[in-house]
Each structure stands twice: as C-alpha cells, then as structure tokens.
A = this chain, B = another copy of it.
Amino acid sequence: MTKNYSSEIASPLSSNHEDYLKAIYILEARGEQVTNSVLSEYIGFTPASATNMVKKLSQMDLVIYRPHQAVSLTPTGRRVALEILRHHRLLELFLHKTLDIPWDSVHEEAERLEHVISEALEDAIAASLGYPKVDPHGDPIPTKTGEIGPTPGHPLSQAKAGRAYKLVRVLSQEKERLAYLGRLGLNLYVELFLREHAPFDGPVLVEVAGVEHALAAEMAALLQVVPASA
C-alpha cells in the first residue's frame, strides 16, 4: 500500500486521517469557511475530536491550524486529499461500470475501499476504464498528478424554462436521494425539458422521457445541467 504521498509523510495515515483531509478539501472547494463545527458535523465526530485531529494533522504539516480560525490544507495535505479523492471516484466508477453496482450504492463502498487500494491497483483501475474524467455522479476525477478539472454545468434551479438540458452532475451522495432520482429516470447524461419554475421558490417542473415530474427547489439546486446539444 505504498502511497504516492508516502515520501513526504512521516507517519502512515489512518483511514480517518485521510477522511479528514478529504473532508477539508471538499468543504474548501465548496467555498465554505472550514470552521471546526462545519468540519466536525461533516465527518460525524464531536467538535472536540475534530480539534484534536486537526492539531495532529497540523503537526504533520498537512493542514494550517490557528486557534479559532478556519483550517486549510497545506500543499502536501492537498496532495493527500486529492489522492484519496481520486481513489474514491475511480472506485465509484469502476464499481458502477464493471460490476453494475447502482449509483446510489457506490459512494458507501468507495468510502472504505479508497483507503486500502495500492497505487498499482489504482493504476490498473484507471487503465481499465480508459483514464476517465468523471465519476458516476459527474464529479471530476483528480489526475494522478493532483490536477482536477473545472466542474461542469450549472444548477437546474437557475436554468431558463422552456428549454432542453442534459444532466451532467448531481451534487449529492445521499443514497435515498439518488435512488429517487434514478426512479424518475434522472440518471447522468439524461436529457430533460424544463417546463417551468413555480413562483416563490416553488417546485420545478421537468419532463424526462415524456413524463413530467415536480422537483423541490432544493432538489433542483443539486442537479447540474448543460443545454442539450442534439
């Protein structure tokens, strides 16, 4: 299990160390201030535990920690986070495409696998998938060297009514939510027609494969779309 980053890191990182770094990366990428409470809520441990872990990561030079300030990743910490995120998203796609695991289940599974695959296995998976760029939810897959592309699309909630769109990304990993979307036929790359936005932040009416559905405004905000081309 020799990791890419192993040369730069003194002690080996546990699964939880890696999940903390990944969480910080994702929260930063959302543009949020990564406060202790935001972080601890996201990872599901108590604030005291988060403080404790962040201090340790800081000693390892993986994060910048100043008391009462938002944490941020050091360049090395970012490298580790992107490495794990690459594992995660490659695994999601691999499980989905190679083993037909439904898109609402791959996240959970990848959450554990991401910590135990070797670099050789990561490479073999990437090669077998043809070096893919996005995972089953449309999230971009970081490259081996830690680059990550721009995120495609814009929220359906801000799209213009009376036009056709293609779903390119879903900003959620919730199993139930994804299962529901799947039942509506709202899978990745499906084409949909946006009928109207009900006023006062009301539901969004969309047509998918000839059937009309009403989506809550918050749901529509999670669906990233681009104008349909064909």
A113 touches B117 (CB 8 A): yes
Q: A48 in the interface, Cβ–Cβ < 8 Å?
A: no
Chain B residues closer than 8 Å to A128, beta-carbon distance: 98-99
Dominant secondary structure of chain A at its interface with chain B: helix
Query: Which one, A29-37, A39-47, A119-127, is touching chain B?
Result: A119-127
Q: How many residues of A contact B (CB 8 A)?
A: 20
Task: Say yes or no: B117 contacts A99, CB within 8 Å.
Answer: no
Q: Are A120 and B101 in contact (CB under 8 A)?
A: yes
Q: Does A51 contact B (CB under 8 A)?
A: no
Enumerate chain B residues within 8 angstroms of A113, measured Cβ to Cβ.
113, 116-117
- Residues of chain B contacted by A115 (CB below 8 angstroms): 116
CA–CA, A108 to B119, complex, Å?
13
Compute how far the CA of A128 lies from the CA of B105 in the bound complex, rounded to whole angstroms.
17
Contact of A118 among B100, B109, B118 (CB under 8 A): B109
Q: Quick check: A99 and B112 within 8 Å, CB to CB?
A: no
Which one of B99, B120, B121, B124 lies within 8 Å of A124 (CB-CB)? Answer: B99
A116 touching B121 by the CB < 8 A rule?
Answer: no
Answer yes or no: A1 CB below 8 A from chain B CBs: yes
| A93 in the interface (beta carbon within 8 A) | no
Chain B residues with CB under 8 A of A1: 112
CB atoms of A124 and B100 under 8 A apart = yes
The answer to whether B98 touches A121 (Cβ under 8 A) is: no
Tell me the complex Cα distance, A112–B118, Å: 10
Within 8 A of B (CB), among A95-112: 95, 98-101, 105, 108-109, 112
Query: Which residues of chain A from 131 to 168 have any CB-CB distance to chain B below 8 Å in the complex?
Result: none
A98 to chain B, nearest CB (A): 7
Q: Which B residues are in CB contact (< 8 Å) with A117?
A: 109, 113
Give A100 to B121 CA distance when docked, in angstroms. 10
Whether A124 and B101, one on each chain, are in contact in the complex, defined by CB atoms closer than 8 angstroms, is yes
In chain A between 12 and 58, which residues have their CB closer than 8 angstroms to a CB of chain B? Answer: none
- Given A101-B124, A109-B121, A115-B116, output 16 extra A-B contacts at Cβ < 8 Å: A1-B112, A95-B121, A95-B124, A98-B98, A98-B128, A99-B121, A99-B124, A99-B128, A105-B120, A109-B117, A109-B118, A109-B120, A112-B116, A113-B113, A113-B117, A116-B116
